Amino acid sequence: MREYLKFYIDGRWVDPVEPKTADVINPATEEAAGRISLGSVADVDKAVAAARKAFASWSQTTREQRLDLLGAIQAEYAKRQTEIGDAIMEEMGAPSSLAHGFHVGLGAGHLQTAIEVLKDFRFDEQHGATVIAKEPIGVCALITPWNWPMNQTCVKIFPALATGNTMILKPPQLAPFSAQILAEILHAAGVPAGVFNMIQGSGSVIGAALSTHEDVDMVSFTGSEPVGVQIQKDAATTVKRVGLELGGKSPFIVLDDDQLATNVAGATAGMMGNSGQTCSAGSRLLVPASRMDEAIAAARAAAEGVTVGDPKGNVAMGPVVSKSQFNIIQDYIRKGLEEGATVVAGGPGRPEGLDKGWFVKPTVFVGTNDMVIAREEIFGPVLVIIGYDDVDHAVEIANDTEFGLAGYVNGSDLEKCRAVARRMRTGWISINGGFDFHAPFGGYKRSGNGREWGEHGFLEYLETKSLLGYAPAQAAE
């Protein structure tokens, strides 16, 4: 059983000001896997003071110094990838192949991307006699979710470090183990005291204290829309910058061609990955109404082919993260049935043979876009198939949502895919499985504001300063 009872503040592991602990539950066993300390406002004050003090020197470091540090972190991260994967498997139930594969790989990918971007990033640009300088914003509060622990944590920490900021990380209370290992990695790599700090605890206490703190210059939050709205309200009192990556109800448009069955099967299996606990998941599958029977057959076969069970085994899907999340998903499945949606695969309850652990059946409905299961983010392995009449109708359905985080278009005619993607009102669109660590990620509408990943992720942590008359001699030449 893991015990992580200290916080990382000012380069040291320290006891909390007010001792208080909580168990971390393994969702596959429903048993305690470890204990963490829960921080207080006093811990936040200590961490913010350390970050503020360190900012004076860290903000003045050179590109080369920051690259050297990121390289040292990369070397330490490589040593501990197996431990990180084990922690993710235990804390949030990701299957071993996924935890040790894509989960760990996303963290490594964001670190490598930060190194690549930093090498050539233009912090100064000259326009005539004026120099426009991009400078670190200051002390950043990074508040991360439990569903992709390394992805969401690393996509914030490494751009913030690379651009000269200091920070306080508040990891998710439900999945805190991997963040603890990451903090150990940063310490071993030689991150200067106060540049990176970490406090475990509840969002209502630590998140609120960071959001309202007068010495925090920016809050970057990934999570649910209601919490994001509250953070924005809390931060308004000190007029700090807020970056939000919130929920989604992303459309997956499958075009009418000879690849339809293959694309439907791929979209269905993809939706079930990470137990459907992905903000960008293609949870609304849009298919030609004239070929609905074919689409249903492909989706049913794909869903029924998803193996569910102990994350330590050779399975495609583990449990959802908690009892609360399990109950929410079950409520949505029941709501779908009440609304008259047709069950294609799965349904209420646990999969057969799994009587313990928060396991959900990979579930596929056929419904309409006005149903609750097509309007609200379920955050579980629940897919809704919706028929469309033609491409214009598909785009109309895709855009008929309060969210706009991600979208997907699959089809054999690339030009048609491109045309459809251009018309979708969403921030990140994958065409035929496209993926790029340098592509900005973020949402339209209620899916948030700002962008992460790549160069655009750097810009989130920078202020812009205009220096007029800085270079008159060059302007005159």
64, 91, 184, 245: the active-site residue:
245
Q: Could you tell me the two tokens for 334?
A: 């029941």
Contact assessment for residue 261 and residue 298, using Cβ atoms and an 8 Å cutoff: yes
Partnered with residue 462 across adjacent β-strands are 136
Cα torsion through 302, 380, 248, 458, rounded to 10? -100
∠ CA 444-336-327, nearest 5°, is: 85
Question: CA 383 to CA 91: how far, in whole Å?
Answer: 25
Q: What is the DSSP letter of 273?
A: G
Helices assigned H by DSSP within 305-380: 323-339, 372-375
Q: Which burial class, exposed, middle or buried, applies to 132 when counting CB atoms under 10 A from its CB (0-12, 13-18, 19+)?
A: middle
Which stretches of 340-409 are DSSP H helices?
Answer: 372-375, 391-399
Q: Among 201, 151, 154, 150, which Cα is nearest to 178's?
A: 150
Q: How far apart are CA 460 and CA 62, in angstroms?
A: 19
Q: Which residues contact 399 (CB under 8 A, 6 or more apart)?
A: 423, 424, 425
**Strand ordering across the sheet containing 2-4:** 2-4, 31-37, 21-26
Amino acid sitting at position 106? L
Token pair, residue 168, equals: 């306080």
> Residues 6 or more apart from 103 whose CB is under 8 A from it?
84, 85, 88, 94, 148, 149, 150, 151
d(CA 403, CA 209): 28
User: Is 214 an annotated catalytic residue?
Assistant: no
- Enumerate the active-site residues: 245
